[in-house]
Chains A and B, each alone.
Chain A
Amino acid sequence: MNPRILDVGNTAFTVEFGNLISPALLAEVNALDAAIARERGNPAFAGIIETVPTFRSLTIIYDPLATSRETLESALQGLLDETEHAPLRAGRHWRLPVCYGGESGPDLDHVAAASGLDTREVVALHAETEYSVYMLGFLPGFPFMGDLPPALHLPRRTEPRVRVPAGSVAIATGLTAIYPWESPGGWHLLGRCPVPLFDARCPAPALLAAGDRVCFEAVDSATCSTIAADCAAGRIDPHRWCIAEATQP
């Protein structure tokens, strides 16, 4: 199927591969993103400022003084063919510590009641599922991860919180995420992850990347605080929770 091209003003446009959250669409998004990155020296692609991959589309941001939508769209046509049936990039595997429930996860009881499970079952189900990182966005380093087991699918809170603490591990619809920064938010809070997900000093400042796989390990609140303090003081490199490097497909 041909992707749709959507207008985003005079400085961007979006190549949309479909209208659902699926690893196959993500693979196409990432393949087009990688293909454009490869063409950086090609004058036909000059004027691209950056690209933004999301669940099922890639947004190309350009300088209208250096190129035009028409030029870029025709340059892209050649790349679109090779993105079809692209394999999903095999990312790194992570096991991140989470302190579930209590002050760290004020919605755990509600989620258990709403899903007809007890809190231990919710924790086990959430921690043991292996998630894919679909995209980063909303906040710096914020990973949208899926897919949540169907038993834990819940709509967003009807009253979004004004203040979700940094580190909150949250779920909504079929997704789970970690808030790297304090922010307003409408997701259900299950726990807290003490590992910082964003470091401005790194060339790739987000700890996680699209295509990475993530599962969780329940830890008690004392361990959680110790890890947070060690990370803040630079005694622990957050990459220690990476349990397997990326494999080439």
Chain B
Amino acid sequence: MNLFEIKSAGALSSIQDAGRRGYRRFGVPSAGALSTPLMRIANRLVGNDEHAPVIECFGGGLHLVVREGSIRVALTGDATAQFSREGTKTPLAPWRSTTLVAGDELRLQGSGRDRAVTLAVAGLDCPRQMGSAATYARAGLGGQHGRPLAAGDSLRAAEPPGTPEQVLRKPPAIDRGASIRLVAGPQADFFDESALARLSASEYRISSEADRMGMRLEGPPLAHRDAASREIISDATVPGSIQVPGNGLPIVLLADGQTAGGYPKIATVISVDLPLLALRRPGDPVRFSLVSVAEAESLARSEEARIRALLAAIVPLAEDGIDLEALYAGNLIGGMIDALSPEYRTLT
């Protein structure tokens, strides 16, 4: 038996996977990981199916201890974490897998420039409800008894794979200032002619009202065509829908967003850029640009090729312990990784 206990769940840590499919018609949101690329890479690092359940952590604060056996874990994203064994604390680097044994503790200290990071555990054992383990707390679905993780929760995992620990030597370069691409509609015609231009020419800021359901943006208000255009007969929404209520300030729906709504939707964030937007933090700036449906479909195909190349680049950590390539890659990106630091060695 391999068992670990949550000592603290931090701000919000929940079990997520690729989400539910086929239940939006019943009013059930897809839920699932805000960033599927982070989920897929983390899973592959620990030897899981790419779409297996992972723990999504908002900010730092997650603290877990291995109670029985051993578990293999991997963090993806801009994570800072520490691992302690027999009183010795060492940094736990993201983008690699690490095997923890009974008594070891893992502390996630922060999610850096992002709102959330992902922690995969090899063979994390969680029940599926309606085809998914994704937590959707409002209806008590998935996760740990239908809720996010809480201190005292015990989770089970499979025996760590017999293969060596794995590393992604060149983590994906994330352009956190990139403009977020949109397809206009479905109700762009409910807005003043200048509204779309204003949306794509202005800088918005993510407000403090941002969670897994959606994020409210602050910036120049978008004018509806007239008073009657401030509401529609409720129709379907998707993750990425940009609703604009009467005050003119956009709300972007995310994984847990409601399945239908009565506010007109000026545009939709394209699938490739939604994880990038979802990971931005309150206060971060956002710029938008418009693309066509065909362009957005083609971008989805090239992004998939990029993710597959990243997954294919995951390799075993060098047996001798020090992985120079990883150090160089780390230095290129972070600019301050100590070449002698132990993060990129196998733990023996």
Interface check A228, CB cutoff 8 A: no
Which residues does chain B contribute within 8 Å of A144, judged by CB atoms?
Answer: 234
Q: How far is the CA of A59 from the CA of B240 in the complex (A)?
A: 14
Contact with B187, one of A6, A12, A136, A140 (Cβ below 8 angstroms): A6
**Cβ-defined contact, A9 with B240, below 8 A:** yes
Interface assignment of A170: CB less than 8 Å from any CB of chain B: no
Nearest residue (CB) in B for A136 is B27
Are A137 and B138 also in contact (CB < 8 A) when A7-B293, A10-B271, A14-B235 are?
no
B27 and A140 form a contact (CB under 8 A) = yes
The residue that B259 contacts in the complex, of A6, A10, A52, A181, with Cβ under 8 A, is A52
* Contact-residue bracket for chain B: 35 or more
* A19 lies within 8 A of chain B by Cβ: yes
The answer, yes or no, to whether A1 is at the interface (CB within 8 Å) is no
Within 8 A of A (CB), among B257-291: 258-261, 265, 268-271
Chain A residues closer than 8 Å to B138, beta-carbon distance: 139-140, 181, 183
A69 near B234 with CB under 8 A, answer: no
Give A64 to B261 CA distance when docked, in angstroms.
24
Could you say which of B130, B241, B296 contacts A205, with CB atoms under 8 Å apart? B130
Closest Cβ of chain A to B244, distance in Å, is: 15
The answer to whether A51 and B26 have CB atoms under 8 Å apart is: no
Cβ-based interface call for A57 (8 A): yes
Given A8-B268, A49-B22, A139-B258, the answer on whether A57 and B139 have CB atoms closer than 8 Å is no
Contact of A64 among B25, B28, B182, B300 (CB under 8 A): B300
**Shortest beta-carbon contacts, A-B, top 6:** A137-B260, A9-B268, A10-B296, A6-B186, A59-B236, A7-B185
Can you offer 12 A-B residue contacts whose CB atoms are under 8 A?
Answer: A7-B186, A9-B182, A9-B238, A9-B271, A10-B300, A11-B240, A12-B236, A49-B22, A52-B236, A68-B297, A135-B234, A138-B259
Given contacts A9-B238, A21-B233, 9 further A-B contacts (CB under 8 A): A6-B185, A9-B182, A9-B269, A16-B235, A20-B233, A135-B260, A141-B27, A181-B138, A206-B26
